[in-house]
Amino acid sequence: MSELTDPWHFPRPDLAQAYLQGFDLGLTSARGLFARRRMGKSEFLKHDLLPAALRAGYLAAYVNLWDDTDHPGQALATAIAQATQPKGLGKFWEDLNTPIRKLKGGGKLPLGIEGSLELDLADKEKAAVPAIQAALQAADKARTRLLLVIDEAQVLAAPQHKAVAHSLRAGLDIRKPGIKVLFAGSSEAALREMFSRAAAPFYNWAPLEPFPLLGREFVEAMVKQLAAVARQPLKLDDALAAFAALKETPEFFRWYIERYLMYQQQGSEQALKYTQARVHDDSSYARVWKELSRADRAVLLLAARGVQDLYGAQALKQLQELLDSADVTASAPRTSIRRLTGARLQLMARVDHGAYRFEDPEFQTWVAARRTID
C-alpha cells in the first residue's frame, strides 16, 4: 500500500481510528468534513483512512468528484463497484450498458435526436442512476461493511446532478447499517448547502465538522525525514517559522521543504522566500484565470497543452468538448486569441502565422496542469 512507499507521508493513525470508531459505535452512519484546499484532506482519506478501514475489515471505496466534475454518477458507481468486485469491473459496465445500447440501436428514438448533445447527456444520466443502484446491490452481496469516501462531495449539489444525488441518497438510506459514508469538501458553504437546505437530497443526512489540521507534529516529522536525506539538517525552529509564514498550509510547506532540500546551501530563509513567491504566483494566476471567460479559458488550455493549430477542425472539436457545447463556432478561437494577445491581458504573443506562445512560461505550466476550464 502506498502509505508504506512514501517516506514523506506523515501518517495520522489516531485520526483514522477516531473516524472508524465513530462509525463502529453506530452513533452515525455518515459524516461530513471540510477544510480549505491543500490542507491534507485527500492525503489523509486515501493514505490513512482507507488503509485503516481495510485493515479493520471494511471494504473501502474512494472517489474524488473533482476528477471528473461532469460525471459524478459514473465515478461513484465505478468506485463502489471496484471496492466490491475488483475483478469484474469491465463486466459490470458491460451488463449495464447493454440495455442502453439496445435502446439507442433500435433507432426508434423520437424526433431523430440521435447523436445530438441532448441525447448524450440524457444517456449519461440514464447510465449513472442504474449504475449506482447496481453497484450498491453488488455491495449488498459482498456481505461486508463498506466505507464510502466521497471527496469534494459538493459537486453533487449542482442542479444538473440532482438525479444522481437523489438516487445515491435513496440507495444509502436503506443501507445505513452496512454502508458508512464520509463526505469531504473544500468549500464549507457548499457542503452546508448540501446538508442543510430542506429541498436538497442530502438534507440533514450528515453532521458537518471541521477537518483537524496538521500542526507541529507534522513539521517535526518533515524535519526528521529531511535529516535522513540532507547534508545540512534544517533547524526545527526555522521550519516552524516557515510553516507559520505559509499560513500552516501543508502543501506550501512541502514546497518549502523540497526547495530547501534542492538548495541546502542557500538555507531556510531563501527557501521560504522562494516558496512565498511561488505561492503568490499561484494565487495571482488563479485570479487571472477566474477573470477570463469560459471560451477564453478553453482556448488558453489548448494552447498550454501545446495544440499548434488553434484554428483547425481538431481544435474546434476539443473546444466543443471542453465547453460541453456544440454551439462553439469556428470564429470563437480567433475572438479569444485576439483578447488573450490584446493589450489588456497580454497573456499570449504571436510568434508566427497562427502560432502563439505564452508570455509567461510559468503560467503556461500552471494552465496546462488544469484538468477542466472551471
Residue numbers at the binding site for ligand ADP (CB under 6 A)? 8-10, 35, 37-43, 186, 250-251, 254
Minimum CB separation from Mg ion for residue 12, in Å? 15
- For ligand ADP, the nearest residue by Cβ is 40
Residue type for position 238 = D
Distances (CA, A) of 23 to 4, 12, 141, 145, 176: 25, 18, 21, 11, 10
- Measured N-to-C along each axis, helices 117-142 and 162-173 cross at an angle, to the nearest 10 degrees, of 10
Under 8 Å between Cβ of 76 and 132: yes
Minimum CB separation from ligand ADP for residue 1, in Å? 15
* Between 13 and 342, CB nearer to ligand ADP: 13
| N residues, the chain | 374
Minimum CB separation from ligand ADP for residue 265, in Å? 24
Q: Which does 84 bind (CB under 5 to 8 A by kind): Mg ion, ligand ADP, none?
A: none
Q: Which stretch binds Mg ion (CB under 5 A): 9-17, 41-49, 95-103, 311-319?
A: 41-49
Question: Of the candidates 77, 84, 33, 76, which has an alpha carbon nearest to the alpha carbon of residue 58?
Answer: 84
Helix (H, G, I), strand (E, B) or coil at 237: helix
Minimum CB separation from ligand ADP for residue 21, in Å? 20
Which residues have C-beta within 8 Å of that of residue 371, sequence separation ≥ 6? 67
Across the beta sheet with 59-64, what order do the strands follow? 59-64, 146-151, 179-185, 30-34, 208-210
* Between 42 and 336, CB nearer to Mg ion: 42
* Between 41 and 297, CB nearer to Mg ion: 41
Q: Residue 147: beta bridge partners? A: 60, 180
Q: Which does 250 bind (CB under 5 to 8 A by kind): Mg ion, ligand ADP, none?
A: ligand ADP
Minimum CB separation from ligand ADP for residue 211, in Å? 7
Q: Which does 333 bind (CB under 5 to 8 A by kind): Mg ion, ligand ADP, none?
A: none
Minimum CB separation from Mg ion for residue 168, in Å? 20
* Between 32 and 250, CB nearer to ligand ADP: 250
Q: At 333, list the grid cell.
A: 478561437
Q: Which does 67 bind (CB under 5 to 8 A by kind): Mg ion, ligand ADP, none?
A: none
Based on the shown chain and the rule CB under 5 A, indicate whether residue 249 belongs to the binding site for Mg ion. no
301 vs 366: CA distance, rounded Å: 10
* Between 255 and 358, CB nearer to Mg ion: 255
- Please give the size of the binding site for Mg ion, defined by CB under 5 A: 2
Q: Which does 43 bind (CB under 5 to 8 A by kind): ligand ADP, Mg ion, none?
A: ligand ADP
Helix (H, G, I), strand (E, B) or coil at 210: strand
336 vs 72: CA distance, rounded Å: 30
Based on the shown chain and the rule CB under 5 A, indicate whether residue 42 belongs to the binding site for Mg ion. yes
Q: Which does 51 bind (CB under 5 to 8 A by kind): ligand ADP, Mg ion, none?
A: none
Minimum CB separation from ligand ADP for residue 215, in Å? 11
Residue type for position 306 = G
Q: What share of the chain is helix, strand, coil (3-state, %, to 5)?
A: 60, 10, 30
Minimum CB separation from ligand ADP for residue 213, in Å? 10
Residue with cell 489540521: 213
Residues that bind Mg ion (CB under 5 A): 41-42
